[in-house]
A and B are shown apart, each in its own frame.
Chain A
Amino acid sequence: MSLLDALPTPQVSWRQWRPNRVLFVLFSAMLAAVWLLDVVSVAPNRIVSGEGVGLIEAMGWMGASLVSAVILTLLALSLQPSRQGYQVVLVGVSLLLLLLPVGLMVASHRLISSDTPMARLNMGMAYWLMLSLLLLGWIELRLRLALSRRRLLLMLAGVTVVWGLCVMLGLESLALGQEFRARDDEFWRALHQHVTLVSASVAISIVLGLSLTMLMRRYTRCQKIAFGVLNFLQTIPSIALFGLMLGPLAWLAAKWPLLSQLGFSGIGWAPALLALVAYSLLPMVRNTYIALEQVSPETLEAARGMGMRNRQRFIQVRLPLALPVLLEGIRITTVQAIGLTAVAALIGAGGLGAFIFQGLGQAAMDMVLLGALPILILALIADAGLGALADILRPNDSVQSGDSP
């Protein structure tokens, strides 16, 4: 070690500013997208594919410059971010998210005349990109500002409501809205089916998963076999699993008339529910098992030394301390079930997946979106809601910020 190492190194800070590279890239991409790609597309009817329309044509010079100005401001703010700066960026990003449907309204007003009632407005490439880039920006801002999941959930809910209102009230010509109005009864029924299937399968797998975990903790030798079976179930492709159950279930329904009266058959909700439960068991059991095992042995030993009986120890100490991790398992299971239920439409279980497959069959992308978007939103809501619940139940982490003992 030389003497020079001990001296303080002179720090020349000729470059004071450190841009947030993530936000900078996101906003630059946004600016490029709105100017270079199609903002919306217009089709004279449902079958014909639409024709792309650029920013100026869709929004006019006024709208185009307004949008560009907002994005440029955000871009400038991301060059020299401070805490206040991030908060302004957050407001800006949220504002853009809220203004997106308004932009669609403007475009619809400018591009679609009242004498072509069949004409449909579609969101273009730039719109979708804008939407996903804004959401990515939100994630980055959440990390920078250390926002809680609860606040993010509230903001997400707000944006969703505004979008929903705009689509329902002011956007008659938006393809998605038209698709929805054409079959709104069907939509609500599908949504209901979807949610019912998901909640039933999650509820069953919670009960089954918990009991299985208890059994595995009691008979430790069965652990490997049980995890092996669950792992195997997880590896079967979902469509194959649905198909595999057709035969046995149909046979059962034929044998027991009571079952078929209950709606139990080779296709429909019964095989879907069974498959969903089978898939949900592995994440459920694995998380429950880990949740119960990760409770500190010292705490449990202290509980024993204080004179708590086994049942008291389990209910008052182990279970509450396992709950946050256990809820993580329920969250993963639920999100996974929401996605898988879409596939269940293939065997006639209904749900939002029906729109996706029908839309794919008719090459009607709007209809696919009518199924896919709500599934996405459902998954986001379940994810954020259960995550927030786990955060609330974990008093340690929410109070303690950063420094662990």
Chain B
Amino acid sequence: MIELAHVTKRFGDVAAVDDISLHIPKGTFCALVGTSGCGKSTTLRMINRLIEHSDGDIILDGQPVAAYDPVKLRRRIGYVIQHTGLFPHWTVARNIGLVPRLLKWSSADIQAKVEELMTLLGLPVGEFATKYPHQLSGGQAQRVGVARALAADPDILLMDEPFGALDPITREKLQDELSRLQARLHKTVVFVTHDMDEALRLADHLVVMRDGRIVQQGSPLSLLQHPNDSFVESLLGGLERGLKQAALTRIKDHMSPMGPTLPAHSRIPAAFSLRQALSMMLRDHTDRLTVVDQHDVPVGELTLRKIVKEAQPEQGKVRES
């Protein structure tokens, strides 16, 4: 659990982070989003004391971070940065085993952990263990970066724009893997990004920052439904917001039972999102889809009318106000 209470960071007279309060429960994936220079990175780096905060309290598992030895604190917090920061003179295996070695694990334990993590992140041990960072692609290097951060089994993972330097396809692939990993490991993650789509896709809790302050925080859906001001709204994509919200909504929460009419020709799995359902309707020129389970057995149906009416019931209200 991470708790920030009225935290301020001043560089000279300028407040880079200005009186922010944030509560991140254990196992939550929290994304800090904002334009560059909004203080999101500084906030992240105050948690592992790479930057010392000027005012307020940062509390980690019931204890203020200022009470920890900074070095020991950092060893129990995983840290991933944009350009990976892998050591160019060390092999992949040695890079991953860095923190366990600092913690003086036995070499057998380190090796077992390194191999476990490499397998977990899709880096075949035989192929990659002895490679050097410059022999890796950007995506592979960042997998190693994530593995290194996870090596000592930290409860908390800090990620500073980890996929910012990757091409869109690799980025998307790594995002999927990260959410799968998180579903399995339940770490407390603080994730800094300027890419709103990335944040919406990954986060349980979204924090929008501007000029060192928190503008709005909450679940991705609640932010999409009720953006506080035009800044948050534009960050969320303005007119695209409806589609982004649809992308976050599962079909199975909005389908209706099979009606008396014949099932529609187009079929869509229940695990897909409303956005994908809309896309399929546009493609197939239909306003009705048959929803199927993973064995392709029909379980319900979805109509355009229902998506428009029910999926975004709040939309109308926000517009009016």
A307 contacts B88, CB within 8 Å? Answer: no
B85 contacts A301, CB within 8 Å? Answer: yes
- Which of A299, A317, A399 has the most B CB atoms < 10 Å from its CB? A299
Query: Which chain B residues in 38-90 approach chain A with CB under 8 Å?
Result: 48, 50, 71-75, 79, 81, 83-89
Shortest 7 CB-CB contacts between residues of A and residues of B: A302-B85, A307-B75, A307-B74, A305-B79, A298-B83, A298-B85, A307-B71
B102 contacts A307, CB within 8 Å? Answer: yes
Contacts A302-B86, A317-B87, A395-B89; A308 near B132 (Cβ below 8 A)? no
Please, how many angstroms separate the alpha-carbon atoms of A197 and B132 in the complex? Answer: 40
The 0/1 profile, CB within 8 Å of B marked 1, for residues 130-172 of chain A is 0000000000000000000000000000000000000000000
Contacts A301-B85, A305-B48, A306-B102 supplied; 13 other A-B pairs, CB < 8 Å:
A298-B81, A298-B85, A299-B86, A301-B50, A305-B79, A305-B85, A307-B71, A307-B72, A307-B102, A308-B98, A317-B87, A395-B132, A399-B135
- Which of A302, A307, A312, A395 has the most B CB atoms < 10 Å from its CB? A307
Tell whether B206 is near chain A: CB-to-CB under 8 Å.
no
B50 contacts A299, CB within 8 Å? Answer: no
Contact among A298, A306, A400 with B75 in the assembled complex (CB-CB below 8 Å): A306
Q: Which residues of B contact A298 (CB under 8 A)?
A: 81, 83, 85
Tell whether B278 is near chain A: CB-to-CB under 8 Å.
no
Please, how many angstroms separate the alpha-carbon atoms of A70 and B75 in the complex? Answer: 68
Query: Which chain A residues in 289-336 approach chain B with CB under 8 Å?
Result: 298-299, 301-309, 312, 317, 320-321
Tell whether A10 is near chain B: CB-to-CB under 8 Å.
no
Please, how many angstroms separate the alpha-carbon atoms of A400 and B88 in the complex? Answer: 13
Q: Please list the residues of chain B having a beta carbon within 8 angstroms of any beta carbon in chain A.
A: 48, 50, 71-75, 79, 81, 83-89, 98-99, 102, 132, 134-135, 148
Please, how many angstroms separate the alpha-carbon atoms of A179 and B109 in the complex? Answer: 67
A302 contacts B79, CB within 8 Å? Answer: yes
The number of residues on chain A lying at the interface, defined by a beta carbon within 8 Å of a beta carbon of chain B, is 20
B88 contacts A321, CB within 8 Å? Answer: yes
What's the nearest-Cβ distance from chain B to residue A73, in Å? 42
27 A/B residue pairs, CB under 8 Å, sorted by A: A298-B81, A298-B85, A299-B86, A299-B87, A301-B81, A302-B79, A302-B85, A302-B86, A303-B85, A303-B87, A304-B50, A305-B85, A306-B74, A306-B98, A306-B102, A307-B72, A307-B75, A307-B102, A308-B71, A308-B98, A308-B102, A312-B102, A320-B89, A321-B87, A321-B89, A399-B132, A400-B135
